[in-house]
Amino acid sequence: MTTQQLHQNILDKKSFLCIGLDVDLNKIPQHLLATEDPIFEFNKAIIDATHDLAVAYKPNTAFYEAYGLKGWLSLEKTINYINQKHPEIFTIADAKRGDIGNTSAMYAKAFFEDLNFDSVTVAPYMGKDSVEPFLAFKNKFTIMLALTSNAGAFDFQTKTVEGEELYKTVLKTSKDWENSENLMYVVGATKAEYFTEIRKIVPNSFLLVPGVGAQGGNLQDVCKYGMSDNVGLLINSSRGVIYASNGEDFAEKAREEALKIQQEMAAIL
């Protein structure tokens, strides 16, 4: 997918909602546990109920790895289902990977080629040669952590590095990397005031924004300070949508929550 296509999908659906598929067997409706693959059945129902309201889905790989081989199979089935049934959806492997060059190349192969995700999240700590192997893939996107939505973001990311916060150094430095046009960034919604500063550095990059809803962020504020000419935002909601109900009506209730967010987005657009 290209960013132009992503932008067009946002306009068509009047939505920049990303739904996080963080499936915890302790939280899904218990009747699904009797099925052969409860994680996939859950995802399939959520996708069927919300695909016209969302432009992206984001499975967090931790929730699949936690179930070993079975979990990995559920992840494969989920990404294949999205790619086959809803090819217009932008898919994000929320994996937060990053390693030395030859190893990052293996991760890139795993997520971009084998699983055929459109994008993968990566961590910046190991620098340029840990990220560039991901950037080498054409029409695939590497979403790098800049400023995250958790309390620990203040441990290092906002520390002053040679006159400015570390996350700004990360943003600026990454712009010089090869194929940096394939970069997007994770910016937490719990700190809407930071978006103004971030947009000075990356005016047009897409930002993946977790932390709206369950983590306390405000959609209006994020859009006010963070929206670019091509929208440039993917707002993620995970628990608030997928666990709206844990009864047999879970998919219907998930749609209701997604619809509320999509309508708020449509009004903003």
State the catalytic residues: 96
Residues 212-251: x/- map of binding to a second copy (CB under 8 A)?
Answer: ----------------------------------------
The answer for residues whose C-beta is within 8 angstroms of residue 186's C-beta and 6 or more apart is 121, 143, 144, 145, 146, 147, 148, 207, 208, 209, 210
Q: How far are the Cα atoms of 1, 97, 186, 213, 238 from residue 140, in angstroms, in the given order?
A: 7, 15, 16, 28, 23
CB closer to a second copy, 3 vs 94: 94
Phi, psi of 162 (to 5 degrees): 45, 50
Residues 154-173: x/- map of binding to a second copy (CB under 8 A)?
Answer: xxxx-xxxx---x--xx--x
Task: Count CA atoms within 13 Å of residue 77 on its CB side.
Answer: 16
Residues 121-140 that bind a second copy (CB under 8 A): 123-131
From the list 68, 87, 193, 229, which residue makes contact with a second copy (rule: CB under 8 A)? 68
3-state class (DSSP) for residue 63: helix
* DSSP-assigned beta bridge partners for residue 187: 147
Smallest distance from a second copy to CB 164, Å: 11
Q: Is 100 in the site for a second copy (CB under 8 A)?
A: yes
Greatest C-alpha distance within the chain: 57
Q: Is 25 in the site for a second copy (CB under 8 A)?
A: no
Smallest distance from a second copy to CB 230, Å: 27
Binding site for a second copy (CB under 8 A): 22, 24, 60, 62-63, 65-69, 72-73, 76, 94, 96-101, 103-104, 106-107, 109-110, 114-115, 123-131, 145, 148-157, 159-162, 166, 169-170, 173, 210
